[in-house]
Amino acid sequence: MHAYRVWAEIDLDALAHNLTAIHERIGDAVRIMLVVKADAYGHGAVAIAHHALRCGISALGVGTSAEALELRRAGVRARILVLGTIVDEEASATLHHGIEIGLHSSDRARSLEELCARLGTKARVHLKIDTGLGRLGVLPSKAIELLETVHSSQHLELAGLMTHMAPGDGMLDPRTSEQLASFESVLSEARERGLLRGWIHAANSACVFTDMRPLYDCVRPGISAYGVLPGNMPGADQLEPVMSLHSQVVYLKDIPAGAAVGYSGTWNAPRATRIATLPVGYNDGLAWRLGNNGEVLVRGKRAPIIGRVSMDYTCIDVGHIPGVAVGDRVTIVGRQGAERITLEDVARSVGTIPYEISCAVGKRVERVYVGGEGVLIPHPPTRAAEPRAPLESRAQPTLAP
């Protein structure tokens, strides 16, 4: 028997390998800001952040102030940027812990200025330029005005300028080049007016692996660091999956032909067979849409998911697999013997993207971290004149190239 009903094995060596692959693509002069939002895409943000910093990344990107504060509580002292918008009630704590903030509007600039004046502190902000994604960020036509506001402020410090590319396939889509040109026009004017400060960053995973240029000071890989690339991009074969997802057989039953399994009887046995019950369901991240539509691996063979996926349990047909026993490992995502099921395979089965599958892995799924003894990539050179976040650790290990 295994120790957990359902568990995700997180391979820290694979994470280091993927960060090395990214580093080799971008070169020594460009920093890596690893995106660890959504609990590091389901992989466990705290452990991922600590190991990625050991591997030499320069900063962490999160989606919310709550995610940033969780990392601070876990002892992460590196630079953290809230890429999305912050929650007003958490603004004071965000500033207190030296967390950098994405700036998307003049209203937010005013509210941060007022709050910092009351607290007697400064906010380090990264101005986001909306070049085409449309969700957040100031339009290019308003960017210089907002940069001048930050420049003249007593309580706002420009730590960077950023944008986010809308196409999912990076430079393979001509719209990415159009967004990049729009971003460049803002940078050019800001440079002429002496308004540029801090890191400039735009490239996500898709842009890194489709060779966007320039890469500026920093790139923001997310899903590629976890071993997945959108579509069939160049370099996908260089990455290793970081997550595998497992459960175990807890019950076996022989059923006659015609017997129904699961809610609403959506599956009826076409023959006498043996079914296995697994203690994993949609609350753990096994998509409900995999009912009668997915497969798992048992004893190195594929077994179909039968009936509806329940909140806590799922059934599989193992009548064709000899010797299945209670306690056998069941692989939902990962490899057993010659067979392998990837996040991309599961995503295709239910008509979604791999991000959704990994992010849906629930909190009650135990994360089991393996590997992590070695680190592979060097820290990029630091720039002595560049300001640091107030709580950035001076004790982070510096790794030899």
**Percent of the chain residues topping a pLDDT of 90:** 88
Q: In terms of residue numbers, what domain contains 82?
A: 12-224
Specify the DSSP class assigned to residue 251.
E
Q: What is the pLDDT averaged over residues 238-246?
A: 97
Residue 185 sits in a domain of what CATH number? 3.20.20.10
Q: Does the active-site annotation cover 37?
A: yes
143 and 19 part of one domain: yes
Burial class (CB in 10 A: 0-12, 13-18, 19+), 20: middle
* Residue 98 belongs to a domain: yes
- DSSP H helix total and E strand total for the chain: 11, 20
Report the pLDDT value the prediction gives residue 300, as an integer from 0 to 100. Answer: 97
Among 299, 301, 303, 300, residue whose Cα is nearest residue 290? 303
Are 82 and 68 in contact by the 8 Å Cβ rule? The answer is yes
Residue 4 lies in a domain: no
- Return the minimum-mean-pLDDT range out of 6-15, 226-235, 296-305: 226-235
For residue 386, give both structure tokens: 């560049």
- Cα 91 to Cα 82: distance, rounded to the nearest angstrom: 11
- Which of the following is catalytic: 216, 263, 282, 313? 263
235: left (phi over 0), alpha (psi -120 to 50) or beta: left
Asked if the structure places residue 396 within a domain, the reply is no
Residues 139, 257 share a domain: no
Give the residue-averaged pLDDT of 72-86: 96
Given a cut of 90, is residue 382 above it in pLDDT?
A: no
CB 165 within 8 A of CB 179: yes
Least confident range of 49-53, 118-122, 125-129, 373-377: 373-377
Q: Domain check: are 303 and 350 in the same one? A: yes
Residue 234 has pLDDT above 70, yes or no: yes
Whether residues 50 and 91 fall in one domain: yes
Q: Do 200 and 320 fall within a single domain? A: no
Kindly state whether residues 70 and 170 are assigned to the same domain.
Answer: yes
Verify that 274 and 157 share a domain, yes or no: no
Residue 173 pLDDT more than 60?
A: yes
Mean pLDDT, rounded, for 344-365: 93
pTM: 0.91
Coil, strand or helix at 193: coil
Q: Is residue 392 part of a domain?
A: no
Q: Is residue 1 part of a domain?
A: no
Q: Are 213 and 270 in the same domain?
A: no
Is 301 annotated as catalytic?
Answer: no
Confidence of residue 232 (pLDDT cuts 50, 70, 90): confident
Q: Specify the pLDDT at position 29.
A: 95
**In this structure, are residues 261 and 251 in contact, taking their beta carbons and an 8 Å threshold?**
no
**How many other C-beta atoms can be found within 10 angstroms of the C-beta atom of residue 304?**
16
Position 203 pLDDT exceeds 50 = yes
* CATH number of the domain where residue 364 is located: 2.40.37.10
Q: How many domains does the chain have?
A: 2
Q: Which of 37, 41, 216, 282 is catalytic?
A: 37
